[in-house]
Amino acid sequence: MSTGVGMSECCLSGKIHEGNPTGKVETIDNLPTYVAAPKDGSKAKTIVFLVDIFGWEFKNTRLLADQYAKAGFYCYVPDVHQGDSLPIEFLHDVEPPLKDLEQAGLFDKAKSTASVGTTLPPWLLKHREGISKPLISSFIATVKKIPGTGKVGAIGFCWGGRYAILAAHDEVDAAYACHPSLVAIPADFDPVTKPLSLALGSRDSLLDISSVGKIQDIMAQKTALPHEIRIYEDQIHGFALRSDWSSEKDKKSMDEAEKQGIDWFNEYLS
């Protein structure tokens, strides 16, 4: 089980990106799944996307899956929330980007905190580890059996970031977790046996510097296991998926996080 580290309004912040996803929707392991395939259709390098609280239909996630597909990966984005992801409207209404939040008044901040307080706890309870982990494990196992599938990786964001780490215990060939939330330290990291890459923001309210240091210490002891931890300066929770493209610095960090994942999977899924 994860620790009592809570999820704040930062989990609900971000921007919806421009563009139209080009993949298709299939049903895999009884879950609606967005599928983005590389040009040659090869499943030799397959990635399962483990989504944030906004779910499998969130356009940013699908656009990113398309980018990975262009890089040669066969990508699956399953509906692991079973139709119960949080509505996209929260991106606009609950919390603005960091630069706007810093300028917000006490009333606006209190309003955001109250909204999050009534929205997240019941959702997290409904989608707790005992419910979500079996769904994810079953989906990964099903993907492995699809004809033509080679090595399988897991990429996760925020809520899904933790499940990417758990998948690296021995379910996938490699994993990449971007700003994971609700992680248990050391319980989630001690059992990691597969190559693991982490992209973390230096201003992530859900994973403070002290916690990052503990993770670094744990992973440093795994001398025979490939791993990397990259900290992105001045980036908040959700930056790898929901950054503001109008900010050159934020867009650069998001692009670099995408490259981090592509490079990692190219090395460990080949």
What tokens were used for 128? 């707790």
Per-residue pLDDT in tens (0 to 9) along the chain, 270 residues: 443 334 444 444 445 656 899 999 999 999 999 999 999 999 999 999 999 999 999 999 999 999 999 999 999 999 999 999 998 877 654 444 555 555 555 545 444 544 566 788 899 999 999 999 999 999 999 999 999 999 999 999 999 999 999 999 999 999 999 999 999 999 999 999 999 999 999 999 889 999 999 999 999 999 999 999 999 999 988 899 887 767 889 899 999 999 999 999 999 999
pLDDT score recorded for residue 230: 98
Rounded to the nearest 10 degrees, the angle between the axes of helix 248-268 and helix 59-70 is 50
pLDDT score recorded for residue 139: 98
pLDDT score recorded for residue 109: 47
Between the two ends of the chain, the Cα-to-Cα distance in Å is 32
Beta strands in 124-245 (DSSP E): 151-157, 174-178, 196-201, 227-232
Sign of CA dihedral 242, 200, 196, 55: negative
Amino acid at the residue 28: I
pLDDT score recorded for residue 97: 53
Distance CA 224, CA 195 (A): 10
Find the radius of gyration of the CA atoms of the chain: 17
pLDDT score recorded for residue 242: 81
pLDDT score recorded for residue 104: 52
pLDDT score recorded for residue 115: 55
pLDDT score recorded for residue 180: 96
This prediction has a pTM of 0.88
Q: Identify whether the C-beta of residue 13 lies closer than 8 Å to the C-beta of residue 94.
A: yes
pLDDT score recorded for residue 8: 43
DSSP H or E run through 48: strand 45-50
